[in-house]
Structure 1
Amino acid sequence: MADFWTKVTVGLLKGVAFVYDIITFLPYYLIDKPSEKLKISRRIKARPVEPTNPGSSWRALESFDKLTETVVPGCTTLDELFLYVTNKYQDQPCLGTRELLEEQDEVQPNGKVFKKSIYGRYQWLTYQDVDKQASRFGAGLLSLGQKPKQNICLFAETRAEWMVAAVGCFKYNLPVVTLYSTLGDEAIIHGVNESEVTIIITSNLLLDKFKRILTRIPGVKHLVYMNHGKKPDTSNFPHDVQVHSMLYVQQLGSKSENAPTTVSKPTKDDIAVIMYTSGSTGIPKGVMISNVNLLSGMSGQANRVPKMDQNDIYIGYLPLAHVLELSAELTCLTHGVRVGYSSPLTLTDQSGKIKKGSKGDATELRPTLMATVPVIMDRLYKNVWEKVNDGSTFQKALFIFAYSYKKKQMLNGFQTRMLDKIIFKRICRLLGGRIRMLLSGGAPLSADTQQFMNICFCCPIGQGYGLTETCGAGSIHDVTDMSTGRVGAPLTCCQIKLVNWEEGGYNVDDTPNPRGEIIIGGNNVAMGYYKNPEKTKEDFFESDGYRWFSTGDIGEFQKDGCLKIIDRKKDLVKLQTGEYVSLGKVETVLKMSALVDNCCAYADSTRMFTVCLIVPNVKKIKSVAETFGINTHDMETICENKQIQQYVMDCLKTQANTGAGKLERFEIPVKITLCAEPWTPDTGLVTDAFKLKRKNIQLHYQADIDKMYS
């Protein structure tokens, strides 16, 4: 009976919507101007420099004659840029940190104890505050013996002190070596020793990590920890390594006798950052980024985020050691946007470290701009659908009707003001309720997730494409473009061309669209890899007066000049039968299943089929276990159960054969292994940006892979 009345109610809603559309069509047509929106969405955004040459470079129309080099005219270094913004915005809020009010131990049903926190309001440093603290900190570093153009390491979580320290280094021409705070000991030792740093700036939470590795980084003479939370234990450090607080170093820099007599100002070609990659394919490589490289990349990114000003608030929680977050925050600060800091564990009201009933950072900050990575949006996508499916039949039917109706209206160029207020406003509140643009980067975002975010969070998703080697700049999906599954036109700072990859069967003269390996050229292309001339020569080259980088990604230019990522050379494996399997494509499709939190496809070129390691969604897989009469919360027991494995396999086959991302028969994994252990940066199986570390995963699960192929 409930289903009957649900169908009747939804039928009535469809009837009301039909009548509503007829009545409001003319006024909304005049207000929304859908024809104009569709025309702008479909406009040509980039074109080839040589129209008759399929291998020609493509440039955005707004920078077709000249690529942009700086985000602010006249500013050629990060030092000049921050001096400019300090003079312009002075007493305006700049960097915000939330006050920790209380920490409580919370016992979980399985007996584990988690720390939960209650936070207060955001406390803000003004632009002048940041400038003063940064200047004193930089001068203090010089008083400790740091020399201009001598590398200094920043190894800490994302927070205001990280940015203050970086700005202080930029002011005195101290190249900042960045390392992810979740890197393992060997990667840290490699980065520190290779870059020959003598001073490491870290956090009080990470200070202990160095007690066990200092004997293996003998060049380090000073450790500087950031002042937040409890004072760390600074005992038991070697006598030849001095440990200072950041406040102490700033106090040193404020003394007149420590004021530098001459200041070595950076030039545009001086190294600003040596950014060590996350090591997804092996030992991290240090990418040398000059001042002009970073400013150029920022200029391209800024042009794709409309109307940034002091009314905007950006929430920073991704690793600042990642070029996406660093360039996004610097670009925001350039436009007077305040940056409030957060973390993945405190981002929303439901985040792991937030005490139930208290506010997450997004709810408190109510940001308007945010950068994210696909894995986080995939989780939001699944969480919302999970709540919808757990609701009543009527609630589910109502949401599906609203979703479908808004999707149709959006594709026709209309807004849905009433539905946004009644239905989607509640979803928007997950991120504070005021987000006007989300920038996605770090990995490909599925078209389904992008469309879902557009609809449910009532804001455009600017899916971007770039690499550390290009300062995160390559292309960004335009906010006016209503399509999904693409990464937009080249940014104003660079040009992009495709080159043939014969082995993979991609050629620039393919029809209907040119395809090939993506090559990016412009002032945003980095100087190369630190102390690695062989790899630099392999991936970077000079041509036509520009520096170019070979990305290893496969793209397709579409008629309007937008780029679509269709493959990756390193993810392509040739099976024994001769077919090529794109591991990334397989993973993107399978991760759309509600049962899957993460997965890693694997293909042995001496075998005839693909296998896959699956990290199941804990809530969903436990629910499946209950239906099979398996009454346990132990994930290992659940994952080893043959019935559950077969059930998941059947669901994945269904997922692989439906929707726009339908897989070919040879791409569908024949065998799977369910992994009880979640993949987090701390496990070393994924990077801080949640990219798979394929080699690490393969080594960790080699026995399971061998078993699947046996």
Structure 2
Amino acid sequence: MEDSEGSVLNAPVEDNLGAGDHLSVLKGYGALGIVGAVIVAVLVPLLLSTVFLGKKRKQRGVPAQVAGEEGYAMRNARFTELIESPHKEATTVAAMFEQSCKKYAQNQFLGTRKLIGREFVTASNGKKFEKLHLGDYEWQTYRQVFDRACNFASGLIKLGHNVDTRAAIFADTHAEWFIAFQGCFRQNITVVTIYSSLGEDALIHSLNETQVSTLICDSKQLKNLAAISSSLNSIKNVIYFEDVGSSAAKECESTSNWTIASFSEVEKLGQESPVHPTLPSKNGVAVVMYTSGSTGLPKGVMITHGNIVATTAAVMTLIPSLGSTDAYLAYLPLAHVFELAAESVMMAAGCQIGYGSALTLTDTSNKIKKGTKGDVSVLKPTLMTTVPAIIDRIRDAVYKKVEEKGGIAKNLFDIGFKRRLAAVEGSWFGAWGLEKLFWEVVVFKVVRSGLGGHIRFMICGGAPLSADSQRFINICMGAPIGQAYGLTETFAGATFSEWDDTTVGRVGPPLPCCYIKLVSWKEGGYLASDKPMPRGEIVVGGPSVTAGYFKNQQKTDEVYKVDENGMRWFYTGDIGRFHPDGCLEIIDRKKDIVKLQHGEYISLGKVEATLITSNYVDNIMVFADPFHNYCVAVVVPVRQALEKWAQEAEIKYNDFSELCGKAEAVSEVQQSLAKAAKAGKLDKFELPGKIYLASDPWTPESGLVTAALKIKREQIKSKFRSEIEKLYA
């Protein structure tokens, strides 16, 4: 999962019959027979295909009349009024949680895999890697989780937490994170969420700015917290999630003045001395969410209970047959709005949530001990969220295995993929009926087992999903994938592509909880009056739009506006266009546009999204200097793909870093970029004139990408400043 390989499925698949075979099939037919065969085999399907493709596309979004700045607005076609909650009584997260726990009291809710053992393996370079032996999922019911959240809430008060101050969660995703989160709301405590991968400066800034008095964290964070304790001016209590064999709590206690307790100790304290709940209001701030962002120190977005409930209610209407028979795999960071929104939806619908991690996801993941099953194999989820980078890696790994098998297996895969692709794209020439069943059983069942074999719906967000990756999920996993567009500032609620929409490159119609308006950006040439598709800056309005930035009124006033009817709007900075059926497509980003020396405008994000489809590219950042007439790029190559090419080309090198520096390797990757640019219809000036190959992958830990794997442009520019200067020299 952590490694990605180059795609081998580029060339069109040829028919197994040769020219002679075609001729022999026609022997024995007269002229009328041949004509008849042609009509039946070609013209009839063509006519049927024309009729099928000519059908009027389903209307998913319809124009709406809204107040505020002039623009072109849309709403979801299925709802005339905006949805604000799943039930009249569930207007806060606390109420929604309590309702679900009562309704599904005996159902399985949160699952965690049993840790059987761990060991450390030493690699050839001397580095040690942890390997985990994990067992089955152990489940807690909705009733048990509710009781634990109530106990934790009471324990917080008994520990000495001041209810007028905030609590922060600084930890990886697991069941206790969610229980702590819900527990805080039983006492109307605002939760500050912080990525576990944030650096020291960002962590200190976030905790001090919000004056957090209680910090909830993983035990592995305690040592780091102790080192910066003198810089944290408001922390009084630290609650840690236990980790077998860790002695960090004692070390932290001896070097700080904090009251330190384990999560289970706080639960026990609350169980022995219950405190009557103090529940929040709809407009109260539930979360101050610090996102890593792409520049500078993180900003805290104030998310109300009403924001969370509105997005949750809206998404619940769009996932077909969502309910207690579904199992959801949770492995993305809960401190990120995408995962928090997804788990809120699953909780409200009564689903099972099984916790895992990106490092234990599959049978071959980095931290899985050989012979141990990955999270997907054990849980067999029906629902998953993901980001494009992870789908790309799964896709490339599958294609690599297909290439390695070769022979009949590869031919079957290629033909089956081509036939199913035609069917998914609406062609009568594709595989339907019994033929579809044949390919499902013979080819794609094995591929599907890689994600447990039961996936029926996937949700993708965080970045644009390529057409190739979307089709991979449609065909190989046999499931629709809903592309979601949203931001922390809208609690992930903006648009969501519907399960029966097989088009690619779009993010669907507005969610039922909001309006989407396109406001003209004349400087960029995008106008709401453009025909046939209106274009402009995407502005989101409705109950999912958050309250603004914590202690940053100036920035809040820049991007949040309230119209004369009292509706709150958020100006995203993204550029979109509406298709005739009311679906949105993201086409640009205001701040990513640079004007080159000769006056051409280049959209860095658009170019990166196109070039990353190259088989050699794991990650890429394009840089454009306005004093030059071409752009350049820093490229992280796919190691396996480049090393395979080097072996075939008989290129000698000692390590991967040396290979990346070789002119032949740079030339090979640059040629692949040119092919991707041509396929993506980029202009010549949009293709990087020079590139630099970076041998180390970009991870959240390196500070070069966010937890959602978006590139952090300023940090990358800073790290590779000298290399970029040389490219322009």
Tell me which interval the TM-score lies in, with the shorter structure as reference length: over 0.9
Taking the aligned partners of 1:489 and 1:11, their CA distance within structure 2 comes to: 46
CA displacement at 1:252 relative to structure 2: 1.3
Q: In 2 relative to 1, CA 615–69 (structure 1 residues): closer, same or farther, beyond 3 Å?
A: same
CA displacement at 1:458 relative to structure 2: 0.4
In the alignment, structure 1 residue 684 sits paired with structure 2 residue 680: no
Matched with 1:92 is 107
CA RMSD of aligned residues (A): 2.4
Matched with 1:244 is 261
Matched with 2:8 is none
Q: 1:627 aligns with which of 635, 643, 648?
A: 648
Taking the aligned partners of 1:177 and 1:503, their CA distance within structure 2 comes to: 38
Matched with 1:223 is 238
Q: Secondary structure at the match of 1:63?
A: coil
Taking the aligned partners of 1:424 and 1:263, their CA distance within structure 2 comes to: 51
Letter in 2 for 1:246: F
Q: Secondary structure at the match of 1:235?
A: helix
CA displacement at 1:411 relative to structure 2: 2.5
Q: 1:255 aligns with which of 249, 252, 272?
A: 272
Matched with 1:55 is 71
Matched with 1:67 is 82
Taking the aligned partners of 1:677 and 1:485, their CA distance within structure 2 comes to: 30
Q: 1:426 aligns with which of 446, 449, 453?
A: 446
Taking the aligned partners of 2:210 and 2:413, their CA distance within structure 1 comes to: 54
How do 1:185-334 and structure 2 match up within 5 A?
185-237=200-252, 238-256=255-273, 259-260=274-275, 263-334=277-348
Q: Secondary structure at the match of 2:443?
A: helix
Q: In 2 relative to 1, CA 161–676 (structure 1 residues): closer, same or farther, beyond 3 Å?
A: same
Please tell me whether the aligned partners of residues 221 and 241 of structure 1 are also in contact (alpha carbons under 8 angstroms). Answer: yes
Mean Cα displacement is larger for which, 33-42 or 542-551?
33-42
Matched with 1:76 is 91
Give the TM-score of the pair, scaled to structure 1: 0.93
Please tell me whether the aligned partners of residues 161 and 237 of structure 2 are also in contact (alpha carbons under 8 angstroms). Answer: no
Number of aligned residues: 685
Letter in 2 for 1:452: F
Q: Secondary structure at the match of 1:531?
A: coil
How do 1:141-180 and structure 2 match up within 5 A?
141-180=156-195
Q: In 2 relative to 1, CA 81–40 (structure 1 residues): closer, same or farther, beyond 3 Å?
A: farther
Taking the aligned partners of 1:38 and 1:165, their CA distance within structure 2 comes to: 51
CA displacement at 1:391 relative to structure 2: 3.1
In the alignment, structure 1 residue 456 sits paired with structure 2 residue 472: no
In the alignment, structure 1 residue 672 sits paired with structure 2 residue 678: no
Q: Secondary structure at the match of 1:251?
A: helix
Please tell me whether the aligned partners of residues 98 and 122 of structure 1 are also in contact (alpha carbons under 8 angstroms). Answer: yes
Runs of 4+ with >6 A deviation = 33-41
Q: In 2 relative to 1, CA 709–69 (structure 1 residues): closer, same or farther, beyond 3 Å?
A: same
Mean Cα displacement is larger for which, 638-647 or 179-188?
638-647
In the alignment, structure 1 residue 349 sits paired with structure 2 residue 349: no
In the alignment, structure 1 residue 593 sits paired with structure 2 residue 636: no
Q: 1:561 aligns with which of 574, 582, 587?
A: 582
Please tell me whether the aligned partners of residues 152 and 197 of structure 1 are also in contact (alpha carbons under 8 angstroms). Answer: yes
Q: In 2 relative to 1, CA 239–449 (structure 1 residues): closer, same or farther, beyond 3 Å?
A: closer
Taking the aligned partners of 2:248 and 2:640, their CA distance within structure 1 comes to: 39
Please tell me whether the aligned partners of residues 517 and 550 of structure 1 are also in contact (alpha carbons under 8 angstroms). Answer: yes
CA displacement at 1:139 relative to structure 2: 0.8
Q: In 2 relative to 1, CA 54–224 (structure 1 residues): closer, same or farther, beyond 3 Å?
A: closer
Partner deviation per Cα, 1:386-444 (whole Å, 9 max, x = no partner)? 22233324433322211111111223374622211111111111111100011000111
Please tell me whether the aligned partners of residues 54 and 514 of structure 1 are also in contact (alpha carbons under 8 angstroms). Answer: no
Matched with 2:29 is none
Q: 1:102 aligns with which of 113, 117, 123?
A: 117
Q: 1:637 aligns with which of 658, 672, 680?
A: 658
Taking the aligned partners of 1:34 and 1:130, their CA distance within structure 2 comes to: 52
In the alignment, structure 1 residue 530 sits paired with structure 2 residue 546: no
Taking the aligned partners of 1:34 and 1:253, their CA distance within structure 2 comes to: 65
Q: In 2 relative to 1, CA 277–37 (structure 1 residues): closer, same or farther, beyond 3 Å?
A: farther
Matched with 1:403 is 417
Matched with 1:617 is 638
Q: In 2 relative to 1, CA 41–598 (structure 1 residues): closer, same or farther, beyond 3 Å?
A: farther
Taking the aligned partners of 2:573 and 2:234, their CA distance within structure 1 comes to: 35
Mean Cα displacement is larger for which, 391-400 or 541-550?
391-400
Matched with 2:531 is 511
Partner deviation per Cα, 1:309-330 (whole Å, 9 max, x = no partner)? 1110000000000111011011
Mean Cα displacement is larger for which, 272-281 or 179-188?
272-281
CA displacement at 1:600 relative to structure 2: 0.8
In the alignment, structure 1 residue 477 sits paired with structure 2 residue 497: yes
Q: 1:702 aligns with which of 711, 721, 728?
A: 721
Q: In 2 relative to 1, CA 468–10 (structure 1 residues): closer, same or farther, beyond 3 Å?
A: farther
User: 5+ residue gaps in structure 2?
Assistant: 1-12, 27-36, 41-47
Please tell me whether the aligned partners of residues 202 and 224 of structure 1 are also in contact (alpha carbons under 8 angstroms). Answer: yes
Matched with 1:540 is 560
Letter in 2 for 1:62: R
Partner deviation per Cα, 1:250-290 (whole Å, 9 max, x = no partner)? 1111123xx33x54221101111111112222211100011
Taking the aligned partners of 2:94 and 2:171, their CA distance within structure 1 comes to: 22
Please tell me whether the aligned partners of residues 636 and 695 of structure 2 are also in contact (alpha carbons under 8 angstroms). Answer: yes
Q: In 2 relative to 1, CA 243–358 (structure 1 residues): closer, same or farther, beyond 3 Å?
A: same
Please tell me whether the aligned partners of residues 229 and 256 of structure 2 are also in contact (alpha carbons under 8 angstroms). Answer: no
Taking the aligned partners of 1:35 and 1:303, their CA distance within structure 2 comes to: 32
Letter in 1 for 2:555: K
Q: In 2 relative to 1, CA 10–280 (structure 1 residues): closer, same or farther, beyond 3 Å?
A: farther
Please tell me whether the aligned partners of residues 517 and 555 of structure 1 are also in contact (alpha carbons under 8 angstroms). Answer: yes
Q: In 2 relative to 1, CA 212–452 (structure 1 residues): closer, same or farther, beyond 3 Å?
A: same
Letter in 2 for 1:374: P
Matched with 1:3 is none
Partner deviation per Cα, 1:490-545 (whole Å, 9 max, x = no partner)? 01000000001112110011122100000000010000000000000001010133
Taking the aligned partners of 2:586 and 2:549, their CA distance within structure 1 comes to: 25
Taking the aligned partners of 1:303 and 1:575, their CA distance within structure 2 comes to: 45
Q: In 2 relative to 1, CA 39–136 (structure 1 residues): closer, same or farther, beyond 3 Å?
A: farther
Taking the aligned partners of 1:111 and 1:560, their CA distance within structure 2 comes to: 57
Partner deviation per Cα, 1:67-108 (whole Å, 9 max, x = no partner)? 000123321111111111111011111000001112233343
Q: In 2 relative to 1, CA 8–663 (structure 1 residues): closer, same or farther, beyond 3 Å?
A: closer
Letter in 2 for 1:350: T
Matched with 2:517 is 497
Q: In 2 relative to 1, CA 219–149 (structure 1 residues): closer, same or farther, beyond 3 Å?
A: closer
How do 1:644-663 and structure 2 match up within 5 A?
644-658=665-679, 661-663=680-682
User: 5+ residue gaps in structure 1?
Assistant: 1-5, 26-32
Give the TM-score of the pair, scaled to structure 2: 0.90
Letter in 1 for 2:690: K
Please tell me whether the aligned partners of residues 72 and 519 of structure 2 are also in contact (alpha carbons under 8 angstroms). Answer: no
CA displacement at 1:38 relative to structure 2: 7.3
Letter in 2 for 1:272: A
Taking the aligned partners of 2:18 and 2:169, their CA distance within structure 1 comes to: 59
Q: Secondary structure at the match of 1:490?
A: coil
Taking the aligned partners of 2:386 and 2:553, their CA distance within structure 1 comes to: 33
Please tell me whether the aligned partners of residues 76 and 292 of structure 1 are also in contact (alpha carbons under 8 angstroms). Answer: yes
In the alignment, structure 1 residue 580 sits paired with structure 2 residue 601: yes
Letter in 2 for 1:265: L
Letter in 2 for 1:705: I
CA displacement at 1:111 relative to structure 2: 4.3
Identity percentage of aligned residues? 41
CA displacement at 1:368 relative to structure 2: 0.3
